Chain A
Amino acid sequence: MRNGQRCALLGAMVVVLLMAFWRVGAQQPAAPAAGQREGGTSGRNASGPPEPAPRLADGTVSLGRPSGEKGVWNVPYITNMGERVVEADGTSVFERRVAAGRGGRGGRGAGRGDGPIGGGEGTTGGARGGAKSEPQVPFQPWAAAIYDYNSKNNSKYDPEGYCLPPGGPRLMATPYPMEIIQLPEQKRIVMIFEGATHIWREIYMDGRSHPEGDALNPTYLGHSVGKWEGDTLVVDTVGFNEQTWMDYFGHPHTDLLHVVEKYSRPTKTQLRYEATFDDPGAYTKPFTVRWNIPWNATGELTEYICQENNKYLQNLTDDFGQPIFGKKP
Chain B
Amino acid sequence: MKTKFVAFAAAAGFVLATGSAIAHHSFAAEFDANQAVNLKGTVTKIEWMNPHTYFYMDVAEPDGAVVNWGLEMGSPNGLMRAGWTRNTLKVGDVVMVEGSRAKDKAHIGNARVVTLASTGKRLFAASSQADTTPQR
Q: Interface extent on A, as a size class?
A: 35 or more
The reply to whether A118 and B52 contact each other, CB–CB distance below 8 Å, is no
Task: List B residues 24-71 near A (Cβ within 8 Å).
Answer: 24-30, 32-34, 47, 49-52, 54
Q: Which residues of B contact A34 (CB under 8 A)?
A: 16, 18, 81-83, 124
Known: A107-B135, A309-B51. Contact between A33 and B18, CB under 8 A? Answer: yes
The reply to whether B81 and A312 contact each other, CB–CB distance below 8 Å, is no
Known: A33-B16, A35-B18, A117-B131. Contact between A124 and B24, CB under 8 A? Answer: no
Q: Which residues of A contact B25 (CB under 8 A)?
A: 158, 160-161, 312
Q: Which residues of A contact B75 (CB under 8 A)?
A: 304
Q: Which residues of B contact A42 (CB under 8 A)?
A: none
Q: Which residues of B contact A154 (CB under 8 A)?
A: 26, 28-29
Q: Is A123 an interface residue (CB 8 A)?
A: yes
Q: Which residues of B contact A303 (CB under 8 A)?
A: 77
CA distance A113 to B17 in the complex (A): 12
CA distance A163 to B18 in the complex (A): 18
CA distance A195 to B23 in the complex (A): 9
CA distance A308 to B124 in the complex (A): 23
Q: Is A251 an interface residue (CB 8 A)?
A: no
The reply to whether A124 and B17 contact each other, CB–CB distance below 8 Å, is no
Question: Interface on chain A toward B: helix, strand, loop, or mixed SS?
Answer: loop
The reply to whether A155 and B29 contact each other, CB–CB distance below 8 Å, is yes
Q: Is A239 an interface residue (CB 8 A)?
A: no
Q: Is B130 an interface residue (CB 8 A)?
A: yes
The reply to whether B132 and A124 contact each other, CB–CB distance below 8 Å, is yes
Q: Which residues of A contact B91 (CB under 8 A)?
A: none
CA distance A235 to B18 in the complex (A): 29
Known: A75-B19, A175-B22, A195-B23. Contact between A122 and B28, CB under 8 A? Answer: yes
Residue of A nearest to B51 (CB): A306
CA distance A195 to B19 in the complex (A): 10
CA distance A286 to B97 in the complex (A): 47
CA distance A302 to B81 in the complex (A): 9
The reply to whether A118 and B81 contact each other, CB–CB distance below 8 Å, is no
Task: List A residues 112-131 near B (Cβ within 8 Å).
Answer: 112-113, 116-120, 122-126
The reply to whether A124 and B23 contact each other, CB–CB distance below 8 Å, is no
Known: A31-B136, A35-B82, A302-B80. Contact between A312 and B30, CB under 8 A? Answer: yes
Q: Is B115 an interface residue (CB 8 A)?
A: no
Q: Report the minimal beta-carbon distance from A246 to chain B, rounded to whole angstroms.
A: 15
The reply to whether B29 and A153 contact each other, CB–CB distance below 8 Å, is yes
The reply to whether A106 and B23 contact each other, CB–CB distance below 8 Å, is no
Q: Is A36 an interface residue (CB 8 A)?
A: yes
The reply to whether A112 and B131 contact each other, CB–CB distance below 8 Å, is yes
Q: Which residues of B contact A248 (CB under 8 A)?
A: 26
Known: A123-B22, A154-B29, A306-B24. Contact between A311 and B16, CB under 8 A? Answer: no
Task: List A residues 306-329 near B (Cβ within 8 Å).
Answer: 306-312, 315, 317
Q: Report the minimal beta-carbon distance from A158 to chain B, rounded to whole angstroms.
A: 5
Q: Which residues of A contact B81 (CB under 8 A)?
A: 33-36, 302
CA distance A248 to B130 in the complex (A): 12
Q: Is A25 an interface residue (CB 8 A)?
A: no
Q: Which residues of A contact B22 (CB under 8 A)?
A: 77, 118-120, 123, 175
With A174-B23, A196-B23 given, can you name 18 additional A-B contacts, CB distance below 8 Å?
A: A31-B136, A34-B16, A77-B130, A113-B131, A117-B16, A118-B23, A118-B130, A120-B130, A123-B28, A160-B24, A175-B20, A194-B20, A194-B77, A302-B81, A306-B24, A309-B47, A310-B51, A312-B51
Q: Would you mind naming 21 contact pairs between A and B with Cβ atoms under 8 Å apart?
A: A34-B82, A35-B18, A75-B19, A77-B130, A105-B135, A106-B135, A117-B17, A118-B18, A120-B22, A123-B27, A125-B27, A154-B29, A158-B29, A160-B23, A163-B51, A248-B26, A304-B77, A306-B50, A310-B51, A312-B24, A315-B30
Give me the 7 closest cross-chain CB pairs, A-B, nearest first. A119-B131, A175-B19, A123-B130, A161-B25, A154-B28, A156-B29, A35-B81
